Structure 1
Amino acid sequence: MRRIVTALIAALALPLPLLSGPVTGPASAQAAGPADTYADRLVRQVRGANVEEHLRALQAIATAHGGNRAAGTTGYDASRDYVVGKLRAAGYKVTFSPVEFVESWTENSPPVLTETAPGRREYVPKQDFFAFEPSPAGDVTAQVQAVDLTLPPAATPSSTSGCEASDFDGFVAGRIALIQRGTCAFSQKVRNAKAAGAAAIIVFNEGQEGRTEAEQLDIGEWRAGIPMVYADFAVGERLAAARDATVRLTVDSTVAIGTDHNVIAETRAGDPDNVVMLGAHLDSVPAGPGINDNGSGTAAILEVAEEMARFPVRNRVRFTFWAAEELGLLGSDQYVSSLPQSERDRIRLYLNFDMVASPNFAYKLYDGDDSDDTGAAAGPPGSAQIERQFQAFYRSRDLPTVGTDFDGRSDYGPFIAVGIPAGGIFTGAEGVKTAAEARLFGGTAGTAYDSCYHQACDTIGNIDTTALDVNADAIADSAARFAFDLRSIPRRTAPATRGEGS
């Protein structure tokens, strides 16, 4: 049984003194203050063995429900109920937010993409282009209008085509939007195009090596209600070069919609106008139980939530377990979209934990300040301070870290899209560990961080317990510090329009 000694309870019940300043270096180098004391105590209470206990429960749930915990399944429902039971037992008031997802999508006949003017050219479905899954049905013939393209493409992924509403300034309603893949989520491009009056959408690959061919992609975006396809770079380049090109775009499909729920638990104490938010996605892919992806993040923040329930806080802390992340960040995306601006403004920062125990791990921190100078841009103001806070924890244990881009593949995406600073921990997915990382973290260079990524073998045996324990402590440390002191995080003065990611 986990217990907190009477002396600790008494000490934490005393009135809190003034807070120390923002942390800028290793925790051990800071003058001790209430945030430091609180963080140290919470870290000691959070135990890797308890996180593993949650993982074993999630594995048992998957085993009992067809081998997975995917959106729309009884495995997801049982995972949700398990988390809810633990949170309620810890004393949290738990709420739910509905998440719509595509229960099934059927392509009734092959899609059509035909250039009808100034010349005629028929593109080959399933080769030159694919219908986005789950594109709504539609048959549109209209002029194509390019949206902020980068041609020729830059050496590294960097196009912001369609990422900002302003990209569509001058867009003629009723035309087909021609958009380049790049540094924000496909769903964001789709929403911006729909808002500008596009009748259909062609997204084409960006053009760098490895980013030229089309493929079937599930972007989880059907609410725009217009047909949309994903094309080869060569198709987009040709249409962009053609003067006043007119295209017929047809998708013949049937979409059935289901509903799951995000799980949200918030501390009863703390300033409600200063919300520190932590999140991890609760669903797996259909192929397997998803114990690293993302049972690890779920279990880690659940353990932090259980222990934090015993401590006082100055700022409200919100723990969120997202539904349908694997279908296109649907849980976090619909949650953020549903919030009025006044509610978004209460969220001072968002911390994301997706895959924190990869077997061939690296300690990767989201690159809030773009100091790595690769890929996606920096996060919104405050993201750099979040990254530095995490770095301070790992330095205090003499552990190295490396940066990882906000590439749009996890639930921070919808938050940074509206200007909320974000950060968090990631230990790697299907990417290959470099020799330099192997020297820093051990493990095997030249192989994937998680060779069972999105596979049936992502089981309880597919985690590194050391990484899991260290990262659970890091989550507790930063959650505790921000729960007491947000002075390093700047107040937002206006909502942002730029999103990061994909």
Structure 2
Amino acid sequence: MKRLAWGVGLGLALLALAQPFSLERMQADLRALLAQGPRVAGTPAAAAAAEYLAEELRRAGYSVEFQSFTYSRTRDLGTGLWVEGEALPAVGVAGSPAGRVEGPLVVVPGAGLAADFAGLDLRGAIAVARRGGIPGLEKARLAAERGARAIVLLTEEPSGTRFTFGGQSPIPGVTLGRREGEGLLGQAGARAVLEVRIASEEVRGRNVVAWRSPSAPRVLVGAHYDSVPGSPGANDNASGVVAVLELARTLASSPLSEAVWFVFFDGEEDGLWGSRRFVEDHPEVVRGLRAMLNLDMVGVDVNGSLGIGGSPELRVLADCGAVQAVCGGAPGGGSDHVPFAQAGVPVLFFFRGLDPNYHRPTDTTADPRLLAQTAQVVQGVLERLLPLRP
């Protein structure tokens, strides 16, 4: 696993600039969150994590409210994929209907974008498409429109990594990692059997919302605190949570805190449920926002830079040089800023890339120095953005 190279001069400069941020306190926060085990939405571990965040925020001087919501989640009971009789380690995608499908494999060319589906005859087939480019749910709908009975999404991540459609797919869908899945691209026409075995359950999630002023905020800073089954979720996304929590502590005595709400979202891993419900339930707050800043997976230096994506008018406010940070681009979707962007709010997404432990039991570490650096960049954006208010 790659880490950011910290020279002596760079380390001293960062520590001087990030003086308000306590590396020891952030390390303690990480330990407290990981001690709960996988923070799957609706479980006692997630509830304990929410209580911990609320207590720390109250201790810092914030008013805190839990926003409760419910949604339906599917649980995999043993999905299977067999190609010419060979079993492959496929995993059902959350939001997939249950069912057993038999048919020939048809490979969607290219990256599996909308144009790649054009002209394909998928009647009675099991479509095979690469994941990415456009949402998996859109790929499933495009495949269904052309007659496919099911879809296999090939991922860059290892087999067994869990994904969600973020909605209800019209056809059964599974994922398969690159090592096992690349072979399917050369097996067009092979007979396959796909069986998705799932059960539905109702989940009760809770967002943790903190503010210093009862007035409507001009900026919302957030991160999701839930993780996937089997994963302690250190980088995904205790890293973002701890950075936001420490930023809230640092700003508690600053006038900036009067214009900012800090929100810790639940249910992100099941389809952005917490952020979607916040947008739905707080329309007046959302209409008044100048920006939503979202931190997700910022504790492992995967790409050698801090990725910042989102609205161009906000990206120019990120002065990475002030903290000796190397900054690059970040993908536009897949996390809790998306519902806000869809509601017309300018957004920034802070992201360091998918590390090898993504959604795995080995996601156990995040670097507090990287969290401090990320929080410092976010603070700089707030300092540049909020003086623009009338």
The question of a shared fold, defined as TM-score above 0.5 by the shorter chain, is answered with yes
1:132–1:93 Cα change, 3 Å: closer
Instruction: Give the direction of change, closer, same or farther, for the CA distance of 1:354–1:457 in structure 2 (3 Å limit).
Output: closer
1:386 to 300, 309, 314: 314
Q: 2:66 aligns with which of 95, 103, 108?
A: 95
Displacement of 1:81: 0.3
Match for 1:132 among 93, 97, 102? 93
**Aligned counterpart, 1:23:** none
The reply on whether 1:395 has 2:321 as its aligned counterpart is yes
Distance 1:294 1:195, change over 3 A: same
Q: Where do residues 254-403 of structure 1 align in structure 2 (5 Å cutoff)?
A: 254-268=199-213, 275-285=218-228, 287=230, 289-312=232-255, 316-325=259-268, 327-332=269-274, 334-335=276-277, 338=280, 345-358=287-300, 362-366=304-308, 368=309, 379=310, 383-390=311-318, 392=319, 394-397=320-323, 399-403=324-328
1:478 to 360, 381, 384: 381
Query: What amino acid does structure 2 have at the position aligned with 1:79?
Result: A
Structure 2 unaligned spans of 5+? 1-15
Contact in 1 for aligned 2:112/2:139 (Cα 8 Å) = no
Equivalenced residues, count: 369
Q: Superposed, which structure 2 residues align to 1:73-472 within 5 Å?
A: 73-89=43-59, 90-98=61-69, 100=71, 102=73, 104-107=75-78, 110=80, 124=85, 126-127=87-88, 131-133=92-94, 135-138=96-99, 151=109, 153=110, 159-161=112-114, 181-187=131-137, 189=139, 201-205=150-154, 215-221=159-165, 224=168, 226-230=171-175, 232=181, 250-268=195-213, 275-285=218-228, 287=230, 289-312=232-255, 316-325=259-268, 327-332=269-274, 334-335=276-277, 338=280, 345-358=287-300, 362-366=304-308, 368=309, 379=310, 383-390=311-318, 392=319, 394-397=320-323, 399-406=324-331, 408=333, 410-416=335-341, 420-430=345-355, 454-456=360-362, 458-459=364-365, 462-465=366-369, 467-472=370-375
Could you tell me which runs of 5 or more consecutive residues in structure 1 were left unpaired when the two chains were aligned: 1-42, 113-121, 369-378, 432-450, 488-502
Q: Distance in 2 between matches of 1:458 and 1:420?
A: 33
Aligned-partner residue type, residue 53 of structure 1? R
Identical amino acids, percent of aligned pairs: 23
Q: State the shift of 1:456 in Å.
A: 4.9
Q: How does 1:57-72 map to 2 (within 5 A)?
A: 57-60=29-32, 62-63=34-35, 65=36, 67-72=37-42
RMSD across aligned C-alpha pairs, in angstroms?
5.0
Deviations, residues 341-399 of structure 1 (Å, cap 9, x unaligned) = 77654444321222334378844132x4xxxxxxxxxx4xxx22322211x2x2234x2
CA contact (8 A) 1:105 1:134 kept: no
- How far residue 406 of structure 1 moved from its aligned partner, in angstroms, is 0.6
Instruction: State the secondary structure of the residue aligned to 1:202.
Output: strand
TM-score by length of 1: 0.56
How far apart, CA to CA, are the structure 1 residues paired with 2:182 and 2:125?
Answer: 20
